[in-house]
Amino acid sequence: MNDFAVDVQGLSKWYGNLKAVDNVSFQVHKGSSFGLLGLNGAGKTTTFKMMVSLIRPDSGTAIISGYDVVKAPMKVRSHIGYVAENPAFYTRKTTLETLRYVCRLLDVPINDQNRRIDYVLGLVGLTDKKNALVGGYSRGMRHRLGLAQALLSEPQVLFLDEPTLGLDPLGAKSMRELILRLRQEKEVTVLMSSHVLPEVEAICDMVGIFDHGHLVALDTIDHLRSTASNSLNIEMVMAEPDQQVAQALRLLPGVNQVEVSGAKLDINAIKNEDLRPRIMKEAVANNANVLSFGLKENSLEDILLHLVASDASDLPEQRSGLIPTSLFRLIQNNRRD
């Protein structure tokens, strides 16, 4: 067996005339974590469902923990845990009944069921809800129960589709901590999709960015961030609005653009030379009262929004400053339409 927990090659899925997932390929090393990012409708959930053998790919292969999702779906299911986008349960069952039911579905040996159930309930913090009806659960508790049932198989690979969707900040934080703990203690491979980009940054080593069914970027977050732009963004806040300073900075060689919002200037400058000292000097020479001055990091959000094109035709020139060549190649290879 190779070192990959997940090996997806050329995966595609049609819904009627819509190609929801188009020729997607990626690999995830055992023990690492991979984030699927993309706007609504990008194809993340469909990709998840194919990887967990809930729907059949129209073409391509997905090998999960060494098993082919089409040829050995039951093997795949017994090695993974899956938390769906909106985990749904029988509302009239108790927590314990729900987990016993899942144990039966998973063929967990009868004499091991209680141990596993106690263990997963302890992990997700629902031990004291063992006899509570699931119908009375809050959304946060349903997510926890979703994770508990996914862990019953003692999975090697965990698939989490939007694990914090709809949770309040506290619920989201504790879910994040739980996922990180599972990674560290159990060495499970984690695949998760999310809109919450800092969360993906906190958990994932690698990300795949999906757009209209295509995988348009596959990279580490650090690398994406450092290469996603050929320019630097600098933010300068002055004590009061001052158009003259903005105008003076626009004339500096290497400064591409200066946007004014009240007393704040957003300065875009070339990257190959650090122009900050020169910009600062020029501002002071123009009597600017500078309150703060600093580099603005590309947020993953900026990167995501710049990478996902609403239309393949708007990719080249106007975006070329934003997408590194390696990503461009990937985008072009993946765009067959």
Instruction: Please answer whether residues 26 and 4 qualify as being in contact, where contact means their C-beta atoms are separated by less than 8 angstroms.
Output: no
Query: With CB cut-offs between 5 and 8 Å by kind, which of ligand ADP, Mg ion, none does residue 41 bind?
Result: ligand ADP
CB of 206 to ligand ADP, least distance (A): 18
- The contact set with ligand ADP (CB under 6 A) reads 15, 18, 20, 38, 40-46
Residue 233 makes contact with Mg ion by CB under 5 A: no
Q: Residue 90: which of ligand ADP, Mg ion, none does it interact with, CB under 5 to 8 A by kind?
A: none
Q: How far is the CB of 307 from Mg ion (least distance, A)?
A: 18
**Whole-angstrom distance, CA of residue 290 vs CA of residue 220:** 35
Q: Tell the smallest beta-carbon distance from residue 41 to ligand ADP (Å).
A: 4
Given Mg ion, ligand ADP, none, residue 126, with its beta carbon under 5 to 8 Å by kind, binds none
- Sign of the alpha-carbon torsion through 320, 323, 324, 330: negative
Which residues on neighbouring strands pair with residue 145, listed in sequence order? none
Q: Which amino acid is at 198?
A: P
- For 312, phi then psi, to 5°, come to -55, -30
Q: Which residue in 263, 264, 266, 244 sits closest to 255, CA to CA?
A: 266
Give CA–CA dist 21/46, Å, rounded: 7
Strand, coil or helix: 62 = strand
Residue 47 touches Mg ion, criterion: CB under 5 A: no
Cα 81–chain centre separation: 18
Given ligand ADP, Mg ion, none, residue 81, with its beta carbon under 5 to 8 Å by kind, binds none
DSSP 252: S
**Minimum CB distance to ligand ADP, residue 38 (Å):** 5
Is 189 a binding residue for Mg ion by CB under 5 A? The answer is no
When the beta carbons of 60 and 324 are compared against ligand ADP, the nearer one is: 60
Among 23, 32, 33, 45, binds Mg ion (CB under 5 A): 45
* Cross-strand partners of 4: 29
C-beta of 56: minimal distance to Mg ion in Å? 18
The answer to whether the CB of 200 falls within 8 A of the CB of 300 is yes
40's contact among Mg ion, ligand ADP, none, with CB below 5 to 8 A by partner kind, is ligand ADP
Contacts with Mg ion by CB under 5 A lie at 44-45
